Amino acid sequence: MSKTRTFEDVLDECLGRLLVENQTLEQCLQSFPQHSKELKPILETALAARKMSAIQPRAEFKERARQQFRSALQETGLQKSRTSVNWGWLWQRSWATAVTIVLVISLAGGGTVYAASGSMPDSLLYPVKLATEQVELALTFSELGKAEIHARLADKRITEIIYLAEADKPEKIALITEKMNTQLGKITALVSTPEMVSSAAVAPTLEQVAKTDEAPELKQTTIAAEAPTTTPAPTLTAPLPPQAAAAENASGQKSKEQPAPEIALSPSRAEETNKEGSSKDDKRTKLKTIVESQSNSNAARLRALLQTAPESAKPALQRALDLSEAEYKKAIEALK
């Protein structure tokens, strides 16, 4: 037995324990403490979905789940994403894995996930909503993709804060404000990683490289043209011995035949690199536009509510406004 197990194997085993063997969440997490942080939200979602959905592990159900999962991937674009992760394991694993992810992704038509998607912090379905969000993040592997999700989730947290302020629940406002603050901070952290820095800010374009390479040549040519043309006085020197003369001629010829090495990218590779950088920059620009729009819209919503909110909710609401403006500003600066 291998000493190290992949997260997929661990997830598959835990789902089987929960949904087939009826073990508890705590038992699974204790068995794999090194994966407990990643496992917990997914397993919580599986348990919540099982409570509200009668699932029987029949053969026809297993096959239908796999088909639904493939369709869900195509609809969400996950299958088309370029990533080193092998998506094959997701439907090649046991029926439990397929069922859980189908519940999270593809059963939004009137099921538990759909009902939970609009739930508020005082709803019994709110934990399912949060767990579903964590599963979505777990199934997104690029930093930019995760940043986009965190932007959307931060926007949801603002809506929840407004709901709680109108319901005069300042204690819950403080809790949701912390979640919002964390998610906005995640945007800044994710787009500030070395891999996510705009290619335009890191590397010069091919045209800039070409100009840089040409500059020394032009300078040398100019210097050569401006050099004085006075003829020096002839110098009398004794002829070299035949062997020394031959060695000198060979040395001079060798230096002339060895120009400075040139580094060049193949046209196809250069074009591919430019396209990848351009695509990443376009996505960053789009995300920046979204975050800026959310920042302005949410600030306006919170300020307007401050005029009509219950007095007991106003301090928590003001804090949410101050934190959101500060964190949105950081995220926008990081995306520039």
Bigger pLDDT: 243 vs 38: 38
pLDDT at 26 over 90: yes
Least confident window among 44-53, 84-93, 175-184, 195-204:
84-93
Q: Is residue 183 within 8 Å of 153, Cβ to Cβ? A: yes
Bigger pLDDT: 38 vs 59: 38
End-to-end CA distance of the chain: 49
- pLDDT tens-place string over residues 166-224: 999 999 999 999 999 999 999 999 999 776 654 445 444 434 444 444 444 444 444 44
Least confident window among 225-229, 249-253, 317-321:
225-229
Compute the average pLDDT of residues 328-335: 96
pLDDT score, position 86: 46
Residue 241's pLDDT band, with cuts at 50, 70 and 90, is: low
What's this model's pTM, rounded to 2 decimal places?
0.56
pLDDT score, position 87: 44
DSSP for 169-229 reads -HHHHHHHHHHHHHHHHHHHHHHTSGGGS-HHHHS--HHHHHHHHHHHHHHHHHHHHHS--
Compute the average pLDDT of residues 229-243: 50
Cβ-in-10-Å burial (0-12, 13-18, 19+) of 180 comes to: buried
pLDDT score, position 16: 78
pLDDT at 89 over 70: no
Secondary structure letter of residue 77 according to DSSP: T
The domains of the chain are located at 142-199
> Closest Cα partner for 78 from 32, 138, 17, 119?
138
Q: How far apart are CA 107 and CA 128, in angstroms?
A: 14
Q: How far apart are CA 98 and CA 284, in angstroms?
A: 33
With tokens 């949701």, the residue in question is 176
What integer best gives the mean pLDDT of the chain? 72
